[in-house]
Structure 1
Amino acid sequence: MKRLFRLFLCLALLSGTAACSDDEVSQNLIVINGGEHFLSLDGLARAGKISVLAPAPWRVTKAAGDTWFRLSATEGPAGYSEVELSLDENPGAARSAQLAFACGDAIVPFRLSQGALSAGYDSPDYYFYVTFGTMPTLYAGIHLLSHDKPGYVFYSRSKTFDPAEFPARAEVTTAADRTADATQAEMEAMAREMKRRILEINSADPTAVFGLYVDDLRCRIGYDWFVAQGIDSARVKVSMLSDGTGTYNNFYNYFGDAATAEQNWESYASEVEALDWNHGGRYPETRSLPEFESYTWPYFLSTRPDYRLVVQDGSLLESSCPFITEKLGEMEIESIQPYEMLSALPESARKRFYDMAGFDYDEFAALFDASPKKNLVIIGTSHGSEESARQQRDYVARIVEQYGEGYDIFFKPHPADTSSAGYETEFPGLTLLPGQMPFEIFVWALIDRVDMIGGYPSTVFLTVPLDKVRFIFAANAESMARPLNILFRDATDVEWMQ
């Protein structure tokens, strides 16, 4: 039997596989599962089926040692028929089996795979990183350097990283024009190539576990690229990366009002649950919006197996609705700061990250270490009027007067701000940082050297230790945009300046 089975497989490799069309069936070809060459199922004990379309009687053979699944029939008549499939629960590692369907002179190989019950977010064999916002791209870049597995990377904001500085195990795609974001055509081409690559990997490694790191606002990619192509969802570990304030603001907009929160949750849940998550073959993709948008889905998805929401601070997701409070307890939320992820990397990996981002760590570390004083960083803003520019200058003058004796003061201008160009002359002892510098990376990399930070309300405050934020140019916490208003409402050590 083993010799016959091996013969079937060798013949199959020579003869190729069948596609599904009436013309091909008439040419004495056998079509399995509508032209699919594999069936991917989770680790639970379950039943399924395999469809067969054949122009003549057919037979199927499996290896004698594959006892973890059973087929209701090993042969069948011409035309359409179905083979019932039953699987035992998988107590160990992922497993797969090769079947050989024969009809006349045609032999078609068919791969059956079953995932492991215990696979977690740190178990993937291949990682895919698909990001559109700056914050998710930075998260993805740090995570890529935390392991040694193959990575397939796309980021829309091409200026975030230099593709040439990624490790060799990463296959990187971004905009052809490095001064601009990826175009819609480039994103669509990238999606086609990524989906092709996923099927290629699955064909070569049918028990592979995939890790997907993607913006939470584009989380439908986890379904469209994997499940809709036949990959069982249990083999796809999806980390939905916070887009920054958008994650918290969307949650509040959808679920903050007790009058509509439960209805909204159920509506978004029904959209997700209408998809075929436990199918045995290809299923149509969702009707994705431009840039694969799925803003309303991540919160419910994080209650499903193998989906988690990665945020800076999960406590900033708030609602006055008891139903949503209960759902928050069901959501898989990982609160982790990028600077924590960065500091956990080996020194060589951190250096690689700085090279990817074009950040000269040694230069800025030397600036901070140039004197024995503590280091204070002021965050500036952009200006639409001379009054706004004058107000910023007054804030800076106040900080210099208040802290200049005990601190070296660094001012980070907004990239569009030109009014601060003369600050180093006007305020002796102040150092003007480059406006175009990747400021988040600057702060995360040197957080142990930053003793105090403050300035105009900024999303940077979401990603630094709160005890280092000591002054904010605002009237109070309530005057700031969500979620900064929640983050600082109980901050007793912040000096409010207006």
Structure 2
Amino acid sequence: MKKNMLCLLIFLILASCKGGVPISSSEPPSEHMDITSEDFVIEGVYENDASSPYVYFQNKYYDMRTNEVVPTTLIDNKAVPSYLELPSYDENDYVFYVLTASLPVLYGSLIAFNTNAPNTYFWFERGNTFSVQYTMENFPNFTFLEGQTLDNRVSGYKYLAMRQTVRNIIRTNPNAKFHLYINDTTVSLILDIMVQAGVNFSDLNVIFLSDGTFTYGCYKDNLPEEVYSAQKSYFEAVLAEYENIENRAIDDFYINFVQPGTTLNENYKLEGTARGLDRLSFMLDANYPNVKHIMQFPELLTNEGEAVTSDREAMLQAINKRQPSEYFYNLEETVRNQVHLAFMAGAVAYTYNPDTGEHYFDNAANLETLEDAIAYFDEKLLTPTKQPVVITGTRDVDTSSTVPYGEQQLEFNESYMLQTIEYYNVKSKFVHENAIFDSKTSTITLYEGEEVVAILEAGYGSIDGVRPVEKAIESTNYKLKYRERELSPGENGAVFYFKPHPSCMPFSVFNDFLLEKGIEVLPRRTPAEIFLWLYPDVDYGGFTSSLYMSASADQTRFYYADDMSALANPTNILAELGYYPNAHYFQK
């Protein structure tokens, strides 16, 4: 008994040294553990982190700080703790968010709004993913780093200014503790901003945020055996060079980079790919206890390389499986309403044209306030008179082509969109479960003397092309999916919206096509994930993207792809697992 209690005491002390404590959770623990129980025995802890606050006891994980059962996720047939844990920061903590794309900015901003650290420094690439102005007015702890744009333009990546900000903090506060949230594809920022400014890597808390589908593609396709095997020694060699005091005095750009441009994408070009820093995040997860990783589906990371798989267990222990929506709904209602407003920035933003000196609205509605934007979306998507259908776009422009952007977009989208309109608006005849089709290839049959049209696909029938339905029956030698209703999904009519990719608005003839077909264009910079959370009854579909990793089964209604195998990793795996049971596949 004394030995057991001594073990408990040691773990509690070590856990208290971890720094972060959970301040709230969207998954409240369901069981309590009596730590004074005489039969309590510590059966195991994380092997790569002796100070882990979790213990395994009687087939369950417990958090030693709260004595509560921790929800788990099954990964590689092993239960891994899964708990919405948010750190508590004080005046000596300096929390930096330097983020690109959309999903990492969603993760990062929502974590920042939840923690509201006294010293929060933020930079994000795609202007107006959320409102800088509104955030500064309502969350005074936020400081936006130099180069951050206030409109829809891409923010300038001012790495020297960011580095100088870190240096100034070090000079004024010798007790400063740094935390860096970055994309899991921009590992170089650790060295570029923090280490070269004077922060020792071992003293830096690094939190990688998933870049979306690219995260999984990177792990599967861009980590060949010889690359991964060389990564640790390469990183440590570069780290040693940059922790050298003489090198820290030099403000030259990182040694493997080309000359810096004005944006992060232009800066972030490595010479060669074999040892590219943008592939190091998984190795760092597995080998450094000061590195953590947040993503949606760690169980779908697949790689068969021996070196990669040997590190897999340690890597997974650094990963926290979380959906960004959990951080959104974890906010107190008042704060959540403020954050909702902040994310409406893309709907009211204007873009500055330096060639003409003019500002113009970057959306069709010309909304003037954040409140106007909420009212606009509510009218369109929350209380519609017809079934709203949101078609999501992709970056489908070849900038090296001589073909105008709009013509490229039209060629890429037109066939898919016309099929979508027909799919939703064609009326289907009532089909009884006793209806018989003559053969698997039959497209017309009779039921009670009336013709019934069916489109058969992959061994299944879907009446008049309506989306797959709830019930399947055996009919002769194949299954027929049918709907016991007279009309297609848009039984009262459907209304269509196009949500462009944040980096690619519709141009010229493609925009004309959308207007002609009555497809209203939604503001491109507004994160589409917000629509999923706030407007769950809308049908969503389009080109495969990271968005659909956040969508529910009921929300994902169609894909622009030949079949599920054509989807981007890991949405293809999710589809195979039945994650999108209602999705229809439109072929070009």
**Alignment TM class, shorter chain as reference:** 0.5 to 0.7
Aligned residue pairs, count: 376
Q: Residues 277 and 148 from structure 1, CA distance in 2 versus in 1: closer, same or farther, beyond 3 angstroms?
A: farther
Change (3 A) 1:368 1:308: same
**Is the 1:379–1:456 contact (alpha carbons within 8 Å) kept by the matching residues of 2?**
yes
Does 2:558 correspond to 1:497? no
SS in structure 2 of the partner of residue 211 of structure 1: strand
Which residue of structure 2 lines up, in the alignment, with residue 342 of structure 1? 328
Q: Secondary structure at the match of 1:274?
A: helix
Matched, 1:318 2:291: no
Who is 2:179 aligned against? 211
In the alignment, is the contact (CA less than 8 A) between 2:128 and 2:525 conserved in 1? Answer: no
Q: How does 1:400-439 map to 2 (within 5 A)?
A: 400-401=425-426, 402-405=488-491, 409-414=495-500, 415-416=505-506, 419=510, 426=517, 432-439=520-527
Partner of 1:254: 222
**Which whole-Å CA distance do the structure 1 matches of 2:163 and 2:572 have between them?**
41
1:368-406 deviations in Å (ceiling 9; x for gaps)? 332577654333455616554541223222223331116
Aligned counterparts of 1:425 and 1:169: Cα–Cα separation in 2: 47
- Show structure 1 runs of 5+ residues with no match: 1-88, 96-116, 256-260
Match of 1:329?
313
Q: Distance in 1 between matches of 2:220 and 2:548?
A: 19
Match of 1:171 in 2: 143
C-alpha deviations, 1:280-334, integer Å up to 9, x for none? 9847466353547431211111121111222232233211234423322211122
Kept in 1, the 8 Å contact 2:99–2:123? The answer is yes
SS at the partner of 2:293?
strand
2:95 aligned with 1:127, yes or no?
Answer: yes
Within 2, Cα distance between the matches of 1:282 and 1:202?
A: 19
Aligned to 1:75: none
Distance 2:577 2:525 in 1: 31
- State the structure with more CA Rg: 1
Question: Counterparts of 1:152 and 1:425 in 2: how far apart (Å)?
Answer: 45
Check the 8 A contact 2:163/2:197 in 1, yes or no: no
Q: Contact (CA 8 Å) 1:455, 1:471: kept in 2 or not?
A: yes
Distance change in 2, residues 1:425/1:201 (3 Å)? same
Change beyond 3 A, Cα 1:212–1:426: closer
1:37 maps to none
More divergent stretch after superposition (467-476 vs 379-388): 379-388
Show the counterpart of 1:398. 423
Q: Deviations over 1:129-154 (max 9, x none)?
A: 11233332232221211122120112
Cα deviation, 1:31-71, whole Å, max 9, x if unaligned, reads xxxxxxxxxxxxxxxxxxxxxxxxxxxxxxxxxxxxxxxxx
- Following superposition, the deviation at residue 170 of structure 1 comes to 0.9
**Which of 304, 309, 317 is the equivalent residue of 2:293?**
309
Q: 1:459 aligns with which of 526, 537, 546?
A: 546
The structure 1 residue matched to 2:165, chosen from 188, 194, 216, is 194
Check 1:347–1:250 CA distance in 2 against 1; reply closer, same or farther (3 A cut). Answer: same
Which residue is equivalent to 1:158? 127
Q: Secondary structure at the match of 1:393?
A: helix
Percent identity reads 21
Tell me the residue number matched to 1:146: 114
For 2:534, the equivalent position in structure 1 comes to 446
For 2:382, the equivalent position in structure 1 comes to 369
SS at match of 1:395: helix
**Residue identity matched to 2:323:** Q
- Give the Cα–Cα distance (whole angstroms) in 2 for the partners of residues 287 and 219 of structure 1: 14
Residues 348 and 287 from structure 1, CA distance in 2 versus in 1: closer, same or farther, beyond 3 angstroms? farther
Q: Which runs of 5+ in 2 are unaligned?
A: 1-12, 20-50, 54-84, 249-253, 269-276, 348-372, 397-406, 427-487
Counterpart amino acid of residue 229 in structure 2: E
CA distance, structure 2, for counterparts of residue 192 and residue 490 of structure 1: 45
Which whole-Å CA distance do the structure 2 matches of 1:441 and 1:244 have between them?
12
Cα contact 1:230–1:281 (8 A) shared by 2: no
Give the equivalent residue in structure 2 for 1:379: 392
Tell me, what secondary structure is at the counterpart of 2:408?
coil
- With the length of structure 2 as denominator, give the TM-score of the two structures: 0.56
SS in 2 for 1:213: strand
What is the 5 A alignment of 1:259-274? 261-274=224-237
1:411 partner letter: Y
DSSP 3-state at the match of 2:378: helix
Q: Deviation string for 1:12-47 (max 9, x for gaps)?
A: xxxxxxxxxxxxxxxxxxxxxxxxxxxxxxxxxxxx
Q: For the residues of structure 2 that align with 1:313 and 1:367, how far apart are their CA atoms?
A: 31
Q: Distance in 2 between the 1:370 and 1:92 partners?
A: 49
CA distance in 2, matches of 1:460, 1:90: 39
Once the two structures are TM-superposed, the CA of residue 128 in structure 1 deviates from its matched residue by 0.8
Which residues in structure 2 correspond to 1:84-99 (within 5 Å)?
A: none
- CA shift, 1:194, in A, is 2.5
SS in 2 for 1:214: strand
Instruction: Determine the C-alpha separation between the residues in 1 that align with 2:181 and 2:15.
Output: 27
Distance in 2 of aligned mates of 1:197 and 1:135: 30
